[in-house]
Structure 1
Amino acid sequence: MEQLAWLAPAAGALALLMAFFLASRVAQQDPGEPRMQEISQAIRQGAMAFLSREYRTLAIFVVALAVIIAVIGFLTPSEVMKPETAIAYVAGAVTSVLAGFIGMRVATLANVRTTQAARRGLAPALDVAFSGGSVMGFSVVGLGMLGLGVVYYLFQGDISVVSGFSLGASSVALFARVGGGIYTKAADVGADLVGKVEAGIPEDDPRNPAVIADNVGDNVGDVAGMGADLYESYVGSVVAAIAIAAEAATSQTPLPATLPLIIAAGGIVASIIGAFFVRAAGGNDPARALRAGTFASGILTLIAVFLISYLGYGDLRWFWATLAGLAAGIAIGLLSEYYTSAEYAPVKGIAEASQTGPATNIIAGLAVGMRSTAWPIVVIAAAILLAYTVAGGGAAGIFAIGLAGVGMLSTTATTVSVDAYGPIADNAGGIAEMSGLLPTVREITDTLDSVGNTTAAIGKGFAIGSAALTALALFSAYATAVKLHEVSLTDPRLVVGLFLGGMLPYLFSSMTMQAVGRAAFRMIEEVRRQFREIPGIMEGKAKPDYARCVDISTAAALREMVVPGLMAVVVPVAVGLWSKTALGGLLAGSLVSGVLLAIKMANAGGAWDNAKKYIEAGHYGGKRSDPHKAAVVGDTVGDPFKDTSGPSLNILLKLMSIVALVFSTLFTRM
């Protein structure tokens, strides 16, 4: 079966063909009236301008780190680091950038076409929005497997080089997630607090100066940022399993290093078939249709893995490990849905608490976020133990944990497709509002958007669960590489590392939350200024300065993303140069506190958002009531929780782990 590793780049190429087919299909749809196209073009120009500036800033970091890796490779023996690692690093960064660029371009084409399709009904609108989101999904897995497969073949599976590809993907992902998250939440908070609460105007009202920036933010944060996040998770999980096979295998315990690539290839084919299940399920019930595609992809992936394990290797241990990961991902997704959907008690409880003001709303939301950590951690722990046990423990057990992470992310194409469809539907609603279309059109787009909020929460659950398994697998690969087998909790270096690691997610989250707060402050002041100084805005006789708000979010995001991004690379290198034992403690401490904090933030933010929408649907007084104003305040607190700090923590954990693995031999020599 080792010779079948070529299936990975082949499946990647197939996924890119699927993305091209769907992109062409979206482009052929009717873009609607001139006013709709004008608004869509403004959103598109703002999104692409931000992406261009972000990538120019990011290029400086990528080139600098590539040069450092290359210099170390040339100046040290080949067993410490190879210069070729720099090539793999750049390849990982470039393919991640390409995935975000392609997904963004098509998403900003699909939004206005979804609005126009909504004039014909719910099913056509779902079809266009999901097709647009699927371009992002298949671009992520296509470029990921094509790039990783080519690097694996070119460098003959040398993990010291292949891990550089994952480092490149992680570097781009962290900056894209943090930068995109700061942009979108600064605009969102400014638009909501001044527009909804102070001015009392509807969401996406064209009189709001921040409305275009808000719609641009949906794309840069929830399409490009989210895509880079799951691209990094997807590639990282495969590289982690390969690394364990390379580092932990012995003559007595040979491990199939190419199996993760073959499983990923099977997941791509399954996701392509699953995409057609969404259309077959019909669009009158969007949640049911999207769930049909998700479950179809998962079941077909399991069938493929069973055949690969049984017929190819004659060993079902790898099937059970993959099943454990995929089942855990689905379970975490369903738990996220329970805590964030307006159909269940937690969100209804937050809405009820809003009757007594913003304080009780925020208290209830924080409590839901904290409580929501319990069962996902139990699920992750069960998946780890099950994978380790069925493989018989030892090196095979650690490899099985890595395969569980691959299994959880094997249907990434479907997960990203379902997730990216949400921002497209959200943009479609904004375009309908600003174009003055019939209320029935907005009702259809709001239905799609509501389902999108839940699917986004499920996607974040997948990302957090996979972060735990992938970071654990990378930690195991690092520990094996530096021979960190016997450590004691009485070793002060380990204890110091544990404390530093436990602190880092909190420091990182504080930095990103404050970045959103500073950017939102400037946005709020600008929106207030325009309402105050431009006569005729509220009467609809004057046009707000949308470009100024877009520029405020762009400048703030690019400025604020640098320090948190650098911290994720500099800290593990600095600690590793001091002590490889301390670095092991740092990775372990950050994994525990980071996963818990990420779950809390993602679920609390999603719950606050849907509690607001639950009230807007007519409960507890509906829109413009006091409970609604309290819920809007809670939602603005939750915005950076769920869309900036929480998702970025997933990448922080894996980026620090892959940095440790790439530089592990250097730390050992030091």
Structure 2
Amino acid sequence: MNFILLVLLCSVLGLFFSVYQGRSIMKEDEGDEKVRSIAIKIRKGANAYLKRQYKGVTIFFVIMFVIFLIMSIFGYVSIFVPFSFVIGGFLSGLSGFIGMKVATQANSRTTTAAKKSLNGALKISFKSGSVIGIVVVSLGLLYIALGFLFLDWYYRDLSEAERILQVTTNILTFGIGASSMALFARVGGGIFTKAADVGADLVGKVEVGIPEDDPRNPAVIADNVGDNVGDVAGMGADLYESYVGSLISSSALAVAAGLSTKGAVVPLLVAALGVVASIFSTFFVKAKEDSSQKNLLKALRRGVYISSVIVAVGSYFIVREILGSENIGVYFSILSGLFAGILIGFFTEYYTSDSYKPTRNLASMSETGPATIIIGGLSLGMASTAIPVVIVAVSVLISFNLSGGANDFNLGLYGIAISAVGMLSTLGITLATDAYGPIADNAGGIAEMSEQDPEVRRRTDALDSLGNTTAATGKGFAIGSAALTALAFIAAYKDSIENIVKSGTSNFEFNLSILNPQVLIGLFIGGMVTFLFSSKTMDAVGRAASKIVVEVRRQFKEIPGLMEGKGEPDYESCIDICTKSAQRELITIAIISVATPVIVGLILGPNGVAGLLAGATVTGFAMAIMMSNSGGAWDNAKKYIESGVLGGKGSECHKAAVVGDTVGDPFKDTTGPSINILIKLMSMVSIVFGALILALGVL
């Protein structure tokens, strides 16, 4: 357990670093009274939303706690499951909450820093992003390390083989709380932010013809609030869940692979190394004044690449010293995941950045109207799925075979799981480059609303435009890691069911042949659930955005002097509409995610659930990539036109691009990123309810 103590130390180091960074941000100048006033409104709106969200989430968690407690009394789950469910959800929500707090303090300070220099604004916004990134990985690692230590102590009277089996079996269920909270945070925040964004754009830009973030627009504060609750708080909870999921699935599969305690601690040590590497690499992110987009991107990429090199080198010594040279293939599995993440990020950038041909071609389609740019965006997103799917497929093949899968199937599954750990090992710095984007976006909005010098907005726009690219690559990274983690969870689900069978009286045996009707039906249902989930989330944004459009139109019509800048818009009403709509829409979406694997399991049995998870993973991965990349390309095509090409702002091309962007908003910021939570949450639910499904399944 000395290795676990080392992991614990690294997680605490990460938290101390985050506190240090956070305090240094607070020492920066927040700006004049007008800047502070706008920032306070954004903070109040974000706090009001999260307060309302946590009330609804608390009810859900209480109900699920009671269900798990009853299941534990009847022996279907461990007594630790109800409590780990609550703790996991709390820490997932806490990581998002801390991220939102930091972001809403940093936005005004970034605006003020942009008055002096571009590098000063980059420094503050990125430093804020690094706090969010390091907090997420540190809390996740702390959670698992403490759980590992506690369970090892609790089962101390068992032999080492039995003890590590019990530890990993119980720790596998830790992620369900994190997954549940991530669903609420990402989907709820996504509905909020995109309803406000779409409503503000359709009325403000298209109908009325005023600039983005114009203070006359009643939805503009809600839009800025949404950047924090969706793209920061939601994203933080989402990636916390991915991170924890990859670590616990690989640790659990280590036992089946015959690697015992040593195999279980390797992924935790790689993750601990990643925390240290991410902290170190943050000091290398800096840019010269008046840097081009290309140089700004290089500045951010520098941090990611340095962190990746440190993990790549350090992981070799971890694997060699703990697992021995006979299992050195596990190291190449880690490398496979690490490079797969970098490649997916690069090709996501290629399809979504206006520096490359696909997005520039998409922008040119605006010359013939909104219809063609929407068709082009859908086509681009569909085409963009090919390379990430091939990358993940190759990574799985390499990880499986090089870890020893040809001789030991379970060892190959462990290799796949630990490749996901390799991909997520640099999450601290990767998330920092992603999270800084919404902060820069907020800074630009504050600059516009507080009527700063145009040079300030030019600098914040440069950071915001870059943030769109890093956000797109961050989503590609998250979705790619979700695919690998989901594959590991499917293997862990099978292993969990087989362990239950061994310890009980059931004589069940898996028959995962594609010709087995249970598996085949499960595959179809899994594919369908992805579409149903996507439909519900898109529809939720559409309904909420419609309410915002009606409210903004009403205010422009009824508030005297609003268009002339003499009247004061009612920002609070738009925030309230978005908040209520987001929470109301979440109920059905949460039920679909949690109930589907249980219902399928009770009707079709464990074989049907395996098919369900496989179908959802395959369909969900491709659809998530397509929607995220289509949305990112539409957004950057609009910004490319705003830079002065094809008529610039206010032109017919720009109006067409705005329509494309409003379609893409829920694609890239609500549905696309939420699908990866769906496929992992269903896997976790299947594992936790495995004993119940095995006992009561009809087929």
TM range (shorter): over 0.9
In 1, distance between residues paired with 2:441 and 2:657?
19
Q: Note the alpha carbon deviations across 1:528-583, whole angstroms, 9 max, x for none.
A: 00001111001000010000011010110111112112211111111122211111
Looking at structure 2, the residues matched to 301 and 488 of structure 1 have their Cα atoms a distance apart, in angstroms, of 38
What is the distance in 2 between the residues matched to 1:254 and 1:144? Answer: 20
1:517 aligns with 2:569: no
Asked whether 1:34 is paired with 2:60, we answer no
* Contact in 2 for aligned 1:114/1:125 (Cα 8 Å): yes
Shift in Å at residue 282 of structure 1?
8.4
- Over aligned residue pairs, what C-alpha RMSD do you find? 1.4
Q: For 1:155-174, what aligned pairs fall within 5 Å after superposition?
A: 155-156=151-152, 158-174=167-183
Give the letter for the 1:501 counterpart. G
Q: 1:265 maps to what in 2?
A: 272
* Secondary structure of 1:256 counterpart: helix
1:656 to 682, 688, 695: 682
Q: 1:602 and 2:628 equivalent?
A: yes
Runs of 4+ in 1 over 4 A off after TM superposition: 280-283
Q: Unaligned stretches of 5+ in structure 2?
A: 153-163, 499-508
Give the distance between the partners of 1:139 and 1:14, measured in 2 at CA.
Answer: 10
Residue aligning to 1:413: 428
Counterpart CA distance in 2 for 1:255 and 1:105 is: 38
The answer to whether structure 1 residue 479 and structure 2 residue 486 are counterparts is no
1:96 pairs with 2:92: yes
Structure 2 distance, partners of 1:224, 1:640, is 17
How many residues are matched?
664
- 8 Å contact 2:191–2:544 — kept in the other structure? yes
Superposed CA offset, 1:45-89 (max 9, x none):
10011011101110111121122112211222xxx4211111111
Matched residue, 1:549? 574
* Amino acid aligned to 1:534: I
1:225/1:254 CA distance change after superposition, 3 Å = closer
C-alpha contact 1:124 1:283 (8 A) present in aligned 2: no
Query: 1:173 aligns to what SS in structure 2?
Result: helix
Give yes or no for the alignment of 1:145 onto 2:141.
yes
Q: How far apart, CA to CA, are the structure 1 residues paired with 2:216 and 2:243?
A: 41
| Partner SS, residue 528 of structure 1 | helix
Distance, in Å, in 2 between the alignment partners of 1:552 and 1:421 is 27
Measured against aligned partners, the alpha-carbon deviations of 1:558-613 in whole angstroms (never above 9, x if no partner) come to 11112112211111111122211111100000011000000000000000000000
Aligned runs of 1:296-315 on 2, under 5 Å?
296-315=306-325
8 Å CA contact 1:191–1:214 kept in 2: the answer is yes
In structure 2, what is the equivalent of residue 230 of structure 1?
Answer: 239
Cα deviations across residues 203-240 of structure 1 (Å, max 9, x unaligned)?
Answer: 00000000000000000010001111100000001011
1:82–1:161: 8 Å Cα contact kept in structure 2? yes
Please name the residue that 1:632 is paired with: 658
- For residue 279 of structure 1, report the CA deviation from its aligned partner: 3.7
1:283-318 CA distance string (max 9 Å, x none) = 943211111001111111111101111233223212
Q: Which residue does 2:159 correspond to in 1?
A: none
Match of 1:496 in 2: 521
Map of 2:475 onto structure 1: 460
1:293 and 1:72 map into 2 onto residues whose CA distance is 46
Asked whether the equivalents of residues 119 and 287 of structure 2 are also in contact (C-alpha less than 8 Å), the reply is: no
Aligned equivalent of 2:227, options 201, 218, 237: 218
Offset at residue 485 of structure 1 (A): 4.6
Report the TM-score, using the length of structure 1 for normalisation: 0.97
Tell me the amino acid that sits aligned with residue 616 of structure 1: E
**Aligned equivalents of 2:21, 2:630: Cα separation in 1:** 34
Match for 2:435: what amino acid?
A: A
How far, CA to CA, are the matches of 2:279 and 2:568 in structure 1?
44
Q: Is 1:334 aligned to 2:346, yes or no?
A: yes
Residue 345 of structure 1 aligns with which residue? Answer: 357
2: CA distance between counterparts of 1:10 and 1:220?
A: 30
Structure 2 contact 287–296 (Cα < 8 Å) conserved: no
TM-score, scaled relative to structure 2? 0.93
Q: Shift in Å at residue 660 of structure 1?
A: 1.0
- Provide the C-alpha distance between the structure 2 equivalents of 1:405 and 1:281, rounded to a whole number of angstroms: 35
Asked if 1 retains the 8 angstrom alpha-carbon contact of 2:337 and 2:423, the reply is yes
**1:445–1:380: structure 2 CA closer, same or farther, 3 Å change rule?**
same
Question: What code does the residue aligned with 1:72 have?
Answer: M
Using the TM superposition, give the Cα deviation of residue 254 of structure 1 relative to its aligned residue in structure 2, in angstroms: 8.5
SS of residue paired to 1:257:
helix
Taking the aligned partners of 1:318 and 1:485, their CA distance within structure 2 comes to 27
Is the contact between residue 133 and residue 417 of structure 1 (CA under 8 Å) also seen in structure 2?
A: yes
1:287 maps onto 2:323 in alignment: no
**8 Å Cα contact 2:169-2:496 kept in structure 1:** no
CA distance in 2, matches of 1:571, 1:209: 39
Further displaced range: 467-476 or 64-73: 64-73
In the alignment, what sits opposite 2:263? 256
**Deviation string, structure 1 residues 352-389 (Cα, Å, up to 9, x no partner):** 00000000000000000000000000000000000001
- CA deviation after TM superposition for structure 1 residue 334, in Å: 0.3
Q: Distance in 1 between matches of 2:288 and 2:273?
A: 23
Aligned to 2:447: 432
Structure-1 residue corresponding to 2:612 = 586
Query: How far apart, CA to CA, are the structure 2 residues paired with 1:561 and 1:270?
Result: 37
CA distance in structure 2 between the aligned counterparts of 1:320 and 1:491, rounded to whole angstroms: 35
Is this contact kept in 2: 1:189–1:639, CA < 8 A? yes
* Partner Cα separation in structure 2 for residue 335 and residue 282 of structure 1: 28
Query: In structure 1, what residue type is equivalent to 2:276?
Result: V
**What CA distance in whole angstroms lies between the structure 1 residues aligned with 2:288 and 2:650?**
37
Structure 2 CA distance, aligned partners of 1:367 and 1:54? 36
Residues 660/304 of structure 1: CA separation in 2 closer, same or farther (3 Å cut): same
Match of 2:531 in 1: 506
Unaligned runs of 5+ in 1: none
CA contact (8 A) 1:281 1:288 kept: no
Deviates more, 1:139-148 or 1:442-451: 139-148
Change (3 A) 1:417 1:335: same
8 Å contact kept, 1:133–1:418: yes
Residues 74, 283 of structure 1: CA spacing in aligned structure 2 closer, same or farther, 3 A cutoff?
farther
One-letter amino acid of the structure 1 residue matched with residue 87 of structure 2: A
Q: CA deviation at 1:277?
A: 1.4
**Per the alignment, in what secondary structure is the counterpart of residue 263 of structure 2?**
coil
8 A contact 1:268–1:411 mirrored in 2: yes
| Contact 2:119-2:288 within 8 A present in 1 as well | no
Report Cα offsets for 1:141-170 as digits up to 9, x if no partner. 111111111111111252332123211110
Deviations 1:429-484 (A, max 9, x none): 00000000100000000000011000001100111111110000000111122246
The one-letter amino acid of 1:456's match is: A
Query: 1: CA distance between counterparts of 2:240 and 2:258?
Result: 31
Look up the match of 2:505.
none
Q: CA deviation at 1:668?
A: 2.3
Higher mean C-alpha displacement, 193-202 vs 576-585? 576-585
Q: CA deviation digits over 1:380-439, x for unaligned, max 9?
A: 000000000101211111000000000000011111111110000000000000000100
- Whether 1:567 aligns to 2:592 is yes
The more displaced of 509-518 and 413-422 is: 413-422
- Aligned partner of 1:386: which letter? I
**Aligned CA distance change for structure 1 residues 264 and 387 (closer, same or farther; 3 Å):** same
| 2:241 partner amino acid | E
Residues 498 and 590 in structure 1, CA contact (< 8 A), matched pair in contact too: yes
Which deviates more, 38-47 or 476-485? Answer: 476-485
- AA at the equivalent of 2:14: A
- Partner residue of 1:64? 63
